[in-house]
C-alpha cells in the first residue's frame, strides 16, 4: 500500500504507545509472567466494564467459547445451534467441546442468528444456543433468550467482535450463562498477541473456568478435571489494562466514521446492512455488492485495501464436508456479496471519503 493509499488497518500503537511501553516494563521489572497481579487487575476492570461480576482471562477467543461449553457440561452427543456467518473458530470451539454444531440461518438485516430459524432447529439433542454478535452488530438477544428459556437451553454469547456493544440497552455477554471475548490484535480491544476472556455473573461457573483454564487444577499439581493450558499472560493483561480506558472513545470514533460511510454511500452501487441496534460497535463495516470481485479490484486500483469477512459459510467449509446438511440460503447470499471497508479508530475521515468516492465512481464505470 502506497503512502497515499488507504490500508485496511494499522496495528502499531498510537496514542496508547507510552502506556503500553510502561505496562510491559512494569511486568518485566516485576518478573512474574503468568497468573499474576496484572491478570487479576484486568479481570476485575474488564468485568466492571462489561457489567458482570467476573471475568476470566484465557489464551484466546476460541478457548473462551470452548471452555464455557465444557464448564456448562456440553459433551459428545449434544448439539449447539450457532450461526453460519462467522469466523470458523466459533464452530471449532463447539467441536473442541465434543458437540455437534447445528446451523440456523441468519436474519437478512442484522446478519446475526435469526431467532425463528433457531427455534425451528431445536431438537432433542440441542443443549445450547451460541449467537455471534458479528461485525459488532448485536444479535436479537431478547428473542434468543426467549427461545433458550422456552426450551431450557444454555445460552452462550460469542462477543469476540463486540466489545462494549449493547443489545436493547443491555451489555452483550450478560443475557446467558456467559460471554466470550477475543483480544486478537485486530479486535476493538486488542492485545499485542493472542488473548481472550469469559465474562459471567455466575460465581461457581467462574471458579470452574479458572480451574479449567489452568489444567483443571484445584491446587498446585492437584488436577481434579481435564482442563486446558489456556491462560492470559501478564504482559498481554497489562497491555489490555493500558488500552481499556481508551475503548469508549475509540468506540465512539468507530460509530462516527460508520455514520459518514452510511451518509456517503446513500445511492451508491452497494447495499449497506442497517444498524438494527444503537449498541452496534462497528468492529467491521461490511457492504454487499453483486459484483464484489470487480468492486474489490476497482478499489485496489484506487489504493484502497478491503477484505472479505467471510467468503465461505461455515457449513460449506471443507472441514464439515458430508457432516452438515443445514440449509442457510441467506448466509449463502451474504457470503457471496459481502466486502469489508476500512474502519477503525485511527482512520482519518478523509480516507473514508476517498473510499466512498471510489465506490460511487465504480457505479459510473
Three cell numbers written together for 146: 426467549
Q: How far is it, in rounded angstroms, from Cα 96 to Cα 150?
A: 27
pTM comes to: 0.97
Between CA 90 and CA 101 the distance in angstroms is: 10
User: Which CA distances in Å does 345 have to 34, 66, 251, 254, 258?
Assistant: 30, 30, 7, 5, 11
pLDDT at 318: 94
Residue, of 329 and 4, whose pLDDT is higher: 329
Cα–Cα distance for residue pair 71/94, rounded to 1 Å = 12
10 — alpha (psi -120 to 50), left (phi > 0) or beta?
A: beta
Please say whether the beta carbons of 181 and 197 come within 8 A: yes
Percent pLDDT > 70 in the chain is 98
pLDDT at 1 > cutoff 60: no
How far is the C-alpha of 207 from the C-alpha of 285, rounded, in Å?
Answer: 37
With both helix axes pointing from N to C terminus, report the angle between 203-213 and 61-71 in degrees, rounded to the nearest 10: 120
The structural domains of the chain, ordered by start, are 17-104+112-245 (3.40.640.10), 247-362 (3.90.1150.10)
pLDDT above 70 for 70: yes
Determine the average pLDDT of the residues in 270-275. Answer: 97
When the pLDDT of each residue in the chain is averaged and rounded to a whole number, the result is: 96
Q: Is the predicted pLDDT of residue 150 greater than 80, yes or no?
A: yes
Average pLDDT over residues 311-329: 91
Q: Would you state the pLDDT for residue 158?
A: 98
Determine the pLDDT at residue 145: 98
Question: Could you tell me which residue, 1 or 208, shows the higher pLDDT?
Answer: 208
Helices (H), the chain: 17-30, 37-50, 61-71, 89-96, 115-121, 141-151, 203-213, 234-243, 247-264, 292-301, 329-337, 349-362
For 101-133, the pLDDT digits (tens) are 999 999 999 999 999 999 999 999 999 999 999
CB neighbour list of residue 110: distance below 8 Å, 6 or more residues apart? 137, 139, 140, 273, 276, 277
Would you state the pLDDT for residue 4?
66
- What are the CA-CA distances from residue 284 to residues 4, 26, 163, 306, 361 (Å)? 22, 33, 12, 11, 22
Angstrom distance (rounded) from CA 214 to CA 224: 11
Amino acid at each position: 500500500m502506497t503512502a497515499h493509499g488507504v490500508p485496511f488497518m494499522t496495528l502499531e500503537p498510537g496514542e496508547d504507545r507510552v502506556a503500553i511501553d510502561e505496562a510491559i516494563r512494569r511486568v518485566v521489572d516485576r518478573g512474574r509472567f503468568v497468573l499474576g497481579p496484572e491478570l487479576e487487575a484486568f479481570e476485575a476492570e474488564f468485568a466492571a466494564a462489561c457489567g458482570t461480576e467476573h471475568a476470566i482471562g484465557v489464551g484466546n477467543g476460541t478457548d473462551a467459547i470452548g471452555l464455557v461449553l465444557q464448564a456448562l457440561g456440553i459433551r459428545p452427543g449434544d448439539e449447539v445451534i450457532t450461526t453460519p456467518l462467522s469466523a470458523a473458530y466459533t464452530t471449532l470451539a463447539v467441536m473442541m467441546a465434543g458437540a455437534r454444531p447445528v446451523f440456523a440461518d441468519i436474519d437478512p438485516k442484522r446478519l446475526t442468528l435469526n431467532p425463528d430459524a433457531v427455534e425451528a432447529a431445536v431438537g432433542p439433542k440441542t443443549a445450547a444456543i451460541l449467537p455471534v454478535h458479528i461485525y459488532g452488530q448485536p444479535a436479537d438477544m431478547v428473542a434468543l433468550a426467549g427461545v433458550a428459556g422456552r426450551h431450557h437451553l444454555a445460552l452462550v454469547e460469542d462477543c469476540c467482535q463486540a466489545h462494549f456493544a449493547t443489545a436493547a440497552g443491555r451489555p452483550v455477554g450478560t443475557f446467558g450463562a456467559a460471554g466470550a471475548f477475543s483480544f486478537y490484535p485486530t479486535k476493538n480491544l486488542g492485545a499485542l498477541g493472542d488473548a481472550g476472556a469469559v465474562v459471567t455473573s455466575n460465581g461457581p461457573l467462574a471458579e470452574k473456568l479458572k480451574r479449567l483454564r489452568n489444567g483443571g487444577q484445584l491446587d498446585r499439581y492437584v488436577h481434579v478435571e481435564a482442563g486446558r493450558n489456556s491462560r492470559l499472560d501478564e504482559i498481554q493483561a497489562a497491555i489490555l489494562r493500558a488500552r481499556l480506558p481508551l475503548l469508549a472513545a475509540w468506540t465512539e470514533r468507530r460509530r462516527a466514521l460508520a455514520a459518514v460511510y452510511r451518509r456517503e454511500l446513500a445511492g451508491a452501487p452497494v447495499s449497506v446492512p442497517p444498524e438494527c441496534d444503537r449498541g452496534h460497535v462497528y468492529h467491521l463495516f461490511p457492504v454487499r455488492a453483486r459484483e464484489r470481485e470487480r468492486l474489490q479490484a476497482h478499489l485496489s486500483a484506487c489504493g484502497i485495501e478491503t477484505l472479505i469477512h467471510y467468503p465461505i459459510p461455515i457449513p460449506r467449509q471443507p472441514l464439515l464436508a458430508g457432516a452438515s446438511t443445514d440449509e442457510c440460503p441467506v448466509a449463502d447470499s451474504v457470503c457471496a456479496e459481502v466486502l469489508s471497508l476500512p474502519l477503525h479508530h485511527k482512520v482519518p475521515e478523509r480516507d473514508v471519503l476517498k473510499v466512498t468516492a471510489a465506490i460511487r465512481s465504480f457505479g459510473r464505470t
